[in-house]
Chains A and B, each alone.
Chain A
Amino acid sequence: DAGVIQSPRHEVTEMGQEVTLRCKPISGHNSLFWYRQTMMRGLELLIYFNNNVPIDDSGMPEDRFSAKMPNASFSTLKIQPSEPRDSAVYFCASSSDTEAFFGQGTRLTVV
């Protein structure tokens, strides 16, 4: 298995634009997590899904953020409209029942 695949690896966008981050979890994993990492706040859980159903989205900063998991092999995290303070590395991770495996992340810069 190629591991958790995220795209794009880097994204630079202007303030106010819509940004969509994509994730393909490891096949067979039933949980998927979206994290955001910054120097100031470390690794923060935004939302996680279990069997494609959102279980806890309490970490989503505000209504500008939304996440979907239409099937077991794909998830998106959307920011609309984006703001400079959203600049961070966004990680997707998937898990079967114990360990979580992370993707390489999407480095988002909002200017």
Chain B
Amino acid sequence: QKEVEQDPGPLSVPEGAIVSLNCTYSNSAFQYFMWYRQYSRKGPELLMYTYSSGNKEDGRFTAQVDKSSKYISLFIRDSQPSDSATYLCAMSEYNFNKFYFGSGTKLNVKP
């Protein structure tokens, strides 16, 4: 079993839709949770970072962490064609010395 599982998609939605992206993990020691966005032929860029359980909101993006279920989510409200990219979840243990990435979900937002 991989440390982090993520549905590869692709996920196709109309502009303005609410998008839900998810990851599950097996290591209960993970404390730091991140979402990265990667455009084609570019490096991943950090979108959201959360510590432990709870929610974090930044504009149209909301990250949720449920440590009891070992499940994290990223919600995108009012999705835009510019949100079309691959979204990778990543997580790390307490001392943040090694990141474990999901395989990425490819999102396509249609105008």
- A residues touching B (Cβ–Cβ < 8 Å)? 4, 31, 33, 35, 42-43, 45, 48, 50, 55-56, 91, 93, 95, 97-105, 107
Contacts and interface: CB of A to CB of B under 8 A. Distances in A.
B43 A103 contact: yes
A33 B43 contact: no
Contact of B34 (A31, A48, A99, A107): A99
Given A42-B101, A50-B97, A102-B36, 4 more contacts: A4-B43, A31-B97, A33-B99, A45-B98
B109 to A, nearest CB: 22
Contact of A42 (B32, B98, B104): B104
Interface residues of B, number: 21
Interface in B19-67: 32, 34, 36, 41-46, 49
Interface of B: 32, 34, 36, 41-46, 49, 88, 90, 96-104
Contact of B101 (A4, A43, A48, A56): A43
Contacts of A100: 34, 46, 90, 99
Contacts of B88: 43
Contact of B103 (A42, A45, A55, A93): A42
A61 B72 CA distance: 30
Contact of B104 (A43, A45, A91, A97): A43
Nearest to B48: A99
Contacts of B96: 31, 95, 97-98
Contact of A43 (B41, B44, B45, B98): B44
A105 B66 CA distance: 32
A4 B104 CA distance: 22
Contacts of A45: 98-101
A100 B104 CA distance: 16
B30 to A, nearest CB: 14
Contacts of B42: 104-105
